[in-house]
A and B are shown apart, each in its own frame.
Chain A
Amino acid sequence: MRTLLIIPFILFFSACTQEQPKPNKPLTEEEKKFTFSPAGQLVPAKSGQGRNGDNYIYAPGIRFPIESAPAYLNSQVYGIGGLYGARGSLCNEKNYQYPWHDNYCEKRRWGMPLCSGGKGHQGVDIRTATCEKNKYYAVAVEDGIITYIGKYTVKLRGKSGRTYRYLHLDSPSVLVKKGEKVNRGDRLGLVSNNMGSTKTSIHLHFDIKETIKINGKSTKVYVPPYTSLVDAYKRLLRGNP
């Protein structure tokens, strides 16, 4: 199996060597502005212990889950106006700035085997360009099938076998149906503050669940999405999502 898998890479690299490099497109204003703190470095520090130094890209090649840039990945709970954050409006402009801050493994009550202490946030929270609900689309990160639509949840099972969960989309705006096949980049619904009867802040909670197998034993876990999203966002800014 593995030897077969090498073939596409050989094809790819050999084809690459034949192509003359094109001059790089100059950086856009948004690319110049974009900065991000390291994976696992949670801000503020009291918000929890991330997976420091884990720079592995768990879902390589995915599309960024929000259709358009800019988007701001940072804590909802510990950000300005959040439950444990500084007093102020959730729409404070400081919440809508770079750098990005990882918030996978941020303090939560529920079990998460990959977080130190065994508990934490199973995904990351992402703010849209502006503090307006029902304006920005969440999109499919990979070709796949919609396996579930709940009150505030949309689940996409990608061809890779990974399951991507999108929380807090505006229910009436959801454009897909259970069982529908979607392509990478297809619109799913509008980012909102929907959490059933309880409202949350305007953001997309995005997580990646996959089965990992080591030495014949397997389990299903939420893997760190931050590095995959930094990579995807850079491609989005480059105009090559």
Chain B
Amino acid sequence: MRRLLILPLLFGILSADSGILDIKWPKPNAKHLKPSTPYPKVLTEGIKDVRLPVYIPNSYAYIKNMVVIADKNFYTISFPFKGATVTISGDRTYQESVSNKQEFKAILKAIPPVTFQQEEGIMTAEFNRHGVNYSMEIECDKPQRDKRCTDTKLIKELYSRLIMVGGHP
């Protein structure tokens, strides 16, 4: 009996304050969405159900050993390189419950549109586009010595070269 009772409680807990973000869809760039050389299947198949704009750095679009994990509300694409992995993800799910709405409102106001920093040895970029939140991360085998993880140069460059390669309303 008790087990049965846990189900509605868990359902309530997991869905009570979560939702799906609205997207202000960007004007698609036909060249990026349908390039003359088609993107590898791993990418096109992996993101076919995604219902948010899918961004990746343009120079990574043809990397065949990329790993794509996605469903309709999020995607994570990892690009493995020697000694480091670059990952980009976007997510439409949100939570609305916080301890103090006023405080969180102020925090939201103060957050810059994009941040670049190293945390726990991982170089990160956080940004919001079209109402969706995205993260890009570089994790290095040698986090304290590898410039890709100690210097913001690469992540800034990758950020400046993001293109939308898929996703649909």
Of residues 125 through 161 on chain A, the ones whose CB sits less than 8 Å from some CB of chain B are 145-148, 150-153, 155, 157, 159-161
Does B151 sit at the interface, judged by CB under 8 A? Answer: no
Encode B135-164 as 1/0 by CB contact (under 8 A) with A.
Answer: 100011111110000000000000000000
Task: Sort chain B's interface into a size bin.
Answer: 35 or more
Stretch at the interface among A41-49, A65-73, A77-85, A105-113: A105-113
Q: How far is the CA of A179 from the CA of B71 in the complex (A)?
A: 11
Look across to chain B and name the residue whose beta carbon is closest to the beta carbon of A210.
B95
24 examples of A-B residue contacts, CB within 8 angstroms: A1-B19, A12-B5, A15-B4, A16-B5, A56-B97, A60-B13, A61-B10, A61-B14, A110-B119, A114-B107, A145-B69, A148-B76, A153-B122, A160-B14, A161-B74, A161-B94, A178-B69, A195-B121, A196-B143, A213-B94, A217-B108, A218-B108, A218-B133, A219-B111
Residue B8 interfacial (CB < 8 Å)? yes
Which of A3-11, A27-35, A92-100, A185-193 sits within the interface?
A: A3-11
Residue A24 is within 8 A (CB to CB) of chain B in the complex: no
Residues of chain B within 8 A (CB-CB) of A179 are: 67, 69
* Additional 5 contacts, C-beta under 8 A, given A145-B69, A198-B142: A12-B9, A108-B119, A151-B140, A211-B94, A213-B95
Is the CB–CB distance between A215 and B121 below 8 Å? no
Q: Is the interface of B mostly helix, strand, loop or mixed?
A: mixed
Query: Roughly how many angstroms separate A163 CA and B142 CA in the complex, as a whole number?
Result: 24
Interface membership of A124, Cβ < 8 A: no
Measured CA separation A10–B73 after assembly (Å): 29
Chain B residues, Cβ within 8 Å of A25: none
Alpha-carbon distance A7/B93, docked complex (angstroms): 22
Residues in A with CB closer than 8 Å to B9 are 8-9, 12, 61
Q: Is the CB of B111 within 8 A of A113?
A: yes
Q: Which of B4, B96, B140 contacts A213 (CB 8 A)?
A: B96
Q: Is B115 a contact partner of A111 (Cβ separation < 8 A)?
A: yes
Expressed in whole angstroms, the Cα–Cα distance for A16 and B5 within the complex equals 8
- Asked if A220 is an interface residue, CB under 8 A from chain B, the answer is yes
A230 to B21, CA, bound (A): 30
Q: Is B58 part of the binding interface, using a Cβ–Cβ cutoff of 8 Å?
A: no
Contacts of B21 in A (CB 8 A): 211, 213, 218
Residue of chain B at shortest CB distance from A168: B120
